[in-house]
Amino acid sequence: MRTFRKEYPLHIMLIPGVILTLIYSYGPMAGLVMAFQNFEPLSGFFKSEWVGWDNFTYVFHLPDFKQVFWNTILISIFKIVLFLLVPLILALLLNEVTKRWFSRLVQSTIFLPFFLSWTVLGGIVIEIFSLNGPVNSLLSFLGLKEIMFMLDNGWFRGIIIGSDVWKSMGYNMIVMLAAITGINGTLYEAAEVDGAGRWKQMLHITLPGMLPMLILLGVLSLGNILNAGFEQILIMYNPTVYEGADIIDTFVYRLGLFSQQFGPAAAVGLFKSVISLGLVSIAYYAAYKYNNYRIF
């Protein structure tokens, strides 16, 4: 009780955040009941027909669902790997730069796309890879055949992955640079006295020192393995590339809002949430068991 009296101002400060979380994060979870109903907006939750698992059976037997699920997994895996690998390489390279002004310039330049919304950045990417864009102009100048990047399933998937990495790598690089600055400098001095060069210092000091941060980012990323980038893909894709770029979120969007099939759309959303929860739990347990690392 004495501790509570001492810290009660902090608890009071939490109240607005808790209220907003309950309203906007936990309150909408009541709508998951639609996954088990033949939901009709005019009938509401209480009067709509209860159909049990029929919505799940219907969705899993749709001809497009397997392709949508595969697209989501494939795009997400590439994003997660590059989400860690590219910023890690950039952070290690910038850590070796001795000119502070050049390092700050590179950080600011790489970090800039993170501040742009996908509405803006998606338009830029579409213009760059359009038929009359700079990439095709360069191909034409080199005597090569122009490519319909935004209408080709193979190329479009790569553009989605690459543009997302381009947008997020600046933020992740800053996080990893912060992890590097937290490493005890005396370790580098001791390694230098023992004759270790920059390469060995990076392998045996920098990377092990960054490991907790890499594990944290990896665990958080694994929970988003079924979130392949709804806003990004919705802005950039078109019916021609549905086969290679349609993901679970865009599938739910079309199924629920365009086809007015609210029950099946809610069923897909619930299926996705359960899988994501399981992956986060497994990743968290593995991080704790094999590296003795806890997020909380």
Whole-number pLDDT of residue 8: 83
**Count of beta carbons in the 10 Å neighbourhood of residue 252:** 22
Burial class (CB in 10 A: 0-12, 13-18, 19+), 179: buried
CB 232 within 8 A of CB 224: no
H-helix or E-strand spanning residue 63: none
Q: Which long-range contacts (CB under 8 A, 24 or more apart) does 175-178 make?
A: 175/87, 175/213, 175/217, 176/87, 176/88, 176/91, 176/210, 176/213, 176/214, 177/91, 177/94, 177/95, 177/107
pLDDT, position 294? 65
Contacts of 277-284 with CB under 8 Å at 24 or more apart are: 277/223, 279/222, 279/223, 279/225, 280/219, 280/222, 280/223, 282/222, 283/218, 283/219, 283/222, 283/223, 284/219
Listed as ranges, residues in the chain with pLDDT below 50 are none
pLDDT digits (tens, 9 = 90+) for 175-192: 888 888 888 888 888 888
Q: Angle, nearest 10°, between helix axes 153-181 and 65-95?
A: 40
Q: Is 85 left (phi over 0), alpha (psi -120 to 50) or beta?
A: alpha
User: What number of other Cβ atoms are within 10 A of residue 281's Cβ?
Assistant: 12
pLDDT of residue 19: 94
Distance of CA 209 to the CA centre of its chain: 24
Helices (H), 48-99: 54-60, 65-95
Q: What is the pLDDT of residue 295?
A: 58
Q: Residue 23: what pLDDT?
A: 92
Q: What is the pLDDT of residue 20?
A: 94
pLDDT number for residue 44: 81
Residues forming a β-bridge with 38: 49
Segment 198-226, tens digit of pLDDT: 888 888 888 888 887 887 777 777 767 77
